[in-house]
Amino acid sequence: MIPSFMVRVLIAGILAGILSAIIGVFVVLRRMAFFAHAVAHASLTGIAIGFITNTNPFTAALAFGTLTGVLIASLIEKSKLFIDTIIGVLLPFTMALGLIIIGFIKSYKPDIMSYLFGDILAVSTHDIYTILALTVVTLAILFILFDEITLISLDEEWATVRGLNVRIINYIFYVLLSVIVVIGTKVVGIILVSAMIVIPAASSQNIARSFKETLLLSTIFSVVSVIAGTAISYFLNLPTGPAIVVLMSLIFLITILVHLKRVRT
């Protein structure tokens, strides 16, 4: 019989894997991998705020991470700076701010390593309900705006010509991405979550022959890695987040080899 905590782990991992895989395809198209990295680091400040205010750290991380994503989007739109420069400023600032706030906690100090590299085994029932609700809402929005987000990701200028409200849709996309990033930190941690978003999508692009196939393969690669990585970490007593990311990376290498074989033939 599967232990109850493992059921929670698998539910959280699979949901996070599906969301990361789908949004990751658009992230790769938009070349926004470092956006996910910045939001992930900002979530540490949210976690610290949660501890110091005696609120749920995951909920606080969601709120602060989303606000950071909106801030980055606003700066991209209004500032003359490039996105990598904006992220290069905000990423270390939010990370440092989180560590400073944690330093003010006098009683229980959170295990920083578990948040940096993930501690999916600590997923609570409350976390599961939160992740499930966010998954339903996020997938519904992605389904409704799928064509618009796809067109903007492929060619933003053409989307503008077609009369789409690119600005509003982009903001919605940034919020969704921020939420998914924070959910992903529960599985693989702050440091590795960008890999969970980027690697399955990049792997699928290596071998997929259509956009729909890219989405499907990205989802399969992600879910398989989450399930297998969780099982390996459980039976071999290894850290779950790194085990998942290593499997994703191995799949990426395999797809590279398949791609090279196709090119030669």
185-215 per-position pLDDT tens digit? 888 888 888 899 999 999 999 999 899 999 9
Least-confidence region, from 84-93, 109-118, 119-128, 134-143? 109-118
CA pair distance 173, 35, nearest whole angstrom:
12
How many other CB atoms sit within 10 Å of the CB of residue 118?
28
Q: Is residue 159 part of a domain?
A: yes
Helices (H), 104-210: 112-117, 125-144, 146-154, 156-161, 166-188, 193-207
264 or 16, which is more confident?
16
Secondary-structure breakdown of the chain: helix, strand, coil percentages, each rounded to the nearest 5: 85, 0, 15
pLDDT band at 255 (very low <50, low <70, confident <90, very high): very high
39 in any annotated domain: yes
pLDDT band at 8 (very low <50, low <70, confident <90, very high): confident
Binned at pLDDT 50, 70 and 90, residue 28 comes out as: very high
Asked if the structure places residue 110 within a domain, the reply is: yes
Residue 211 belongs to some domain of the structure: no
The confidence score (pLDDT) of residue 253 equals 96
Is 31 part of any domain?
yes
Rounded to an integer, what distance in angstroms lies between the CA atom of residue 118 and that of residue 239? 8
Give the Cβ contact number of residue 29 at 10 Å: 17
Q: Among 225-229, 232-236, 255-259, whose mean pLDDT is lowest?
A: 232-236
Q: Which residue has the higher pLDDT, 114 or 247?
A: 247
Of 255 and 90, more confident: 255
The verdict on residue 230 lying in a domain is: no
User: Rounded CA gap, 40 and 28, in Å?
Assistant: 17
Residue 241 lies in a domain: no
Tell me how many domains the chain contains: 1
For residue 161, the enclosing domain spans: 4-192
Would you say residue 225 has pLDDT above 80? Answer: yes
Does 120 have pLDDT greater than 70?
Answer: no
CATH number at residue 97: 1.10.3470.10
For the segment 139-183, what is each residue's pLDDT rounded down to a tens digit?
A: 999 999 999 999 999 888 888 888 889 999 999 999 999 999 988
Domain-embedded: residue 216: no
What pLDDT is recorded for position 177? Answer: 92
| The model's pTM | 0.88
pLDDT > 70? residue 2: no
Q: How far apart are CA 50 and CA 61, in angstroms?
A: 7
